[in-house]
């Protein structure tokens, strides 16, 4: 976690980010959730969205799903429905069950919605706890 803090401080102060150790995507997601919820760190929606965005770009499906919801709600970032939908679809394409379910719930075509729900159910059967 210290690497994450060093990277963030360097970025916020305009320092040489390239000289800092790279932030692991899963570590960024965990730290982002901590700041979103104020769990052991100050609650900071902007920092949380930034960290979760780093994780989403690092191909963490849970982060993609969370970022989608942050963008849809304008939580810590400017509200952007198109970007929210893109992140949701990207997470769904990677088989993230909650993203598939959310797409199904917003799908106007009942056949497509049913297919998405089936995919979500299938993905849940293959989900490893803790990931």
Predicted confidence pLDDT, tens digits, the chain (131 residues): 545 554 554 454 444 444 445 779 999 999 999 999 999 999 999 999 999 999 999 999 999 999 999 999 999 999 999 999 999 999 999 999 999 999 999 888 889 988 888 888 888 777 665 55
* Other residues' Cβ atoms within 10 Å of the Cβ of residue 7: 20
* Other residues' Cβ atoms within 10 Å of the Cβ of residue 47: 19
* Other residues' Cβ atoms within 10 Å of the Cβ of residue 94: 16
Contact call for residues 107 and 113 (beta carbons, < 8 A): yes
3-class SS of residue 34: helix
Residue 79: how many CA atoms within 13 Å on its side-chain side?
3
Delimiting residues of CATH 1.25.40.10 domain(s) in the chain: 2-94
The superfamily in CATH containing domain 2-94 is Tetratricopeptide repeat domain (1.25.40.10)
3-class SS of residue 58: coil
């Amino acid at each position: 976690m210290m690497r994450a803090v060093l990277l963030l401080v360097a970025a916020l102060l305009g320092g040489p980010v390239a000289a800092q150790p790279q932030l692991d995507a899963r570590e960024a997601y965990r730290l982002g959730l901590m700041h979103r919820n104020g769990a052991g760190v100050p609650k900071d929606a902007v920092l949380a969205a930034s960290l979760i965005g780093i994780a989403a770009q690092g191909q963490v499906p849970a982060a993609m799903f969370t970022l989608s919801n942050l963008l849809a709600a304008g939580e810590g970032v400017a509200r952007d429905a198109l970007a929210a939908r893109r992140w949701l679809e990207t997470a769904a394409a990677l088989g993230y069950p909650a993203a598939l379910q959310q797409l199904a719930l917003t799908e106007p075509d009942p056949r497509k919605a049913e297919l998405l729900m089936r995919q979500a159910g299938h993905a849940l059967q293959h989900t490893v706890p803790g990931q």
